[in-house]
């Protein structure tokens, strides 16, 4: 097996829009007797390298075309969500879903959030994915009402290239979201590994 080393592994920005997956309320919700609401939450994650020339970007929830179609504030995918309202006023959102579509792109130019800015620009050519597959998704979001939102998420799945190579992909992030965006360096709060599965 070959695994990206810690120095060169994919680390990067993660976008989770739609008010932090429904902290402001899921798209559709139904009351449950267990003390939470169930509904659907938008899903749009991206991870990437930040090298000077060649980069890789993993999109979870949709392809480049689907991310570009919904724009910078939309989410190409959906997943079932549960929203818990705590006695202290805090709101917790949990998402557990299987088989979320995942697309890995190998490309020149900027990685991370700048990748979508480049490929979604008018007249830009849409790249073909290097590998495609699905991931299991877990998300936990806690909003205590103090202006900061604690976010943890993870994906775990398998990707395959057009020539038959198969990769195991794992990623997670644990960070705090403030009014100006995530606090800290994504290289410090994101874990990502891509391992080729030998036959």
Domain boundaries, the chain: 17-196
> What gap in Å lies between CA 107 and CA 131, rounded to an integer?
12
Candidate ranges 38-42, 43-47, 177-181, 186-190; pick with highest mean pLDDT: 38-42
CA 67 to chain centre: 12
Radius of gyration of the chain (CA): 17
> What gap in Å lies between CA 113 and CA 103, rounded to an integer?
15
Residue 32 has pLDDT above 80, yes or no: no
Phi, psi for residue 37 in degrees, rounded to 5? -100, 145
More confident: 181 or 101: 101
For range 78-85, the mean pLDDT: 92
Give the Cα-Cα-Cα angle 167, 64, 126 (nearest 5 degrees). 105
Collapsed DSSP state (helix, strand, coil) of residue 134: strand
In sequence order, the β-bridge partners of residue 12 are: none
Phi, psi for residue 18 in degrees, rounded to 5? 55, 55
Q: Which pLDDT does position 177 carry in this prediction?
A: 87
> What gap in Å lies between CA 55 and CA 44, rounded to an integer?
19
* Residue 22: band (very low, low, confident or very high) from pLDDT cuts 50, 70, 90: very low
Residue 33 has pLDDT above 60, yes or no: no
Q: Which pLDDT does position 36 carry in this prediction?
A: 81
């Amino acid at each position: 097996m070959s695994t990206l080393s810690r120095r060169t592994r994919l680390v990067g920005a993660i976008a989770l829009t739609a008010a932090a997956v429904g902290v402001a309320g899921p798209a559709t919700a139904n009351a449950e007797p267990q003390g939470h609401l169930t509904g659907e939450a938008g899903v749009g994650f991206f991870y990437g390298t930040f090298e000077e020339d060649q980069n890789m970007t993993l999109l979870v929830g949709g392809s480049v075309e689907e991310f570009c179609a919904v724009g910078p504030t939309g989410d190409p995918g959906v997943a079932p969500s549960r929203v818990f309202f705590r006695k202290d006023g805090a709101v917790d959102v949990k998402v557990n879903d299987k088989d979320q579509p995942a697309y890995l792109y190998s490309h020149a130019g900027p990685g991370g959030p700048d990748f979508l800015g480049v490929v979604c620009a008018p007249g830009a050519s849409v790249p073909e994915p290097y590998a495609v597959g699905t991931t299991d998704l877990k998300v936990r979001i806690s909003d205590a009402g103090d202006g900061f939102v604690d976010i943890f998420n993870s994906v775990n799945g398998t990707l395959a290239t057009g020539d038959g190579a198969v990769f195991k992909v794992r990623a997670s992030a644990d960070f705090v979201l403030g009014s100006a965006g995530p606090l800290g360096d994504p290289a410090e709060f994101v874990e990502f590994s891509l391992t080729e599965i030998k036959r």
